[in-house]
Structure 1
Amino acid sequence: MSKNTRSTLQFRQVMNDRARRGERLTDEEIDEITRETIDLAGTSSNENSLQSEWANRSREILQKPANRLTNNDARELHSLEFRAFERLPAQGSLSSHVMSQADKNERRLF
C-alpha cells in the first residue's frame, strides 16, 4: 500500500468522524486531500485550468459539514476529477471519499 493510499484512508476516517459530529473539514485537511488526489492521479503540481476548477469546486463542497455531503456532490466531483486528470478517479481520491460519505449520509436518511 502506497503512502498516498494510506494517508487517504486516514482521511476517510477523519471525514467519518466529522460527519458523526456534524462538523466540516478544516481548510488544512481540504488542502491536504486535494494534494493527495493530485499525487494519486500521477500529475505534476502544475495545475491546468481543469485541475484548478476541480480544486476550487472541491473546496466549496468540502466546506459543508461532512454529514451534509450528497450523492450529487460526489457525482459532480467525480466528473470534475475525470476531466481534470483525464482518467477515472483512483481509489482513495477525493471523489471516492465524498461518494462513500454521501452514501452513508443518504442511507441514514432512509
Structure 2
Amino acid sequence: MSVKTVLWSILITTSLFGGFSLIFHFGDWERFGLVVIFALFVGAAIAPEIDRKNFKKGWLLQIAAGAMAGIVIGLFFHLQSIELLACCSVIGGFLGWLAPVWITHIQIP
C-alpha cells in the first residue's frame, strides 16, 4: 500500500471540498465538518483506484475508510447508542465496498 498516494488523495479532496465549503458557506461549521468527513472518505476511497498496482488489497482500505466515516458521521450527529453507531459503520463499509462502482462515475475535469 502506498501511503503517499493515500495522503495526497486525501489532501487534495479535503482541500477542494473544504475550500468550496468555506468560500460559499463561511461560518456554517457543522456543514464544513460534514464536508471534510465526506472528503476524507472520498480521498481514501479514490486512492486504490488511482494507483492499482500499489494496492493489492485496496478494497480493504475502501471498506475501512467507509466504516470509519460512518462512525464519525454517527458521532457527529450525537448518536449515543452503540447499535446505531454499528449501523452507521456497516452502511459506511458497504459504501466503501461499492467504491469501485461509484468512483467510475465521478468525472474529474
User: Quick check: TM above 0.5?
Assistant: no
What band does the TM-score fall into relative to the shorter chain? 0.3 to 0.5
Structure with the greater relative contact order (CA < 8 A, sep ≥ 6): 1 or 2?
Answer: 1
TM-score normalised by L of structure 2? 0.38
Looking at secondary structure, tell me which structure has more helix per residue: 2
TM-score normalised by L of structure 1? 0.37
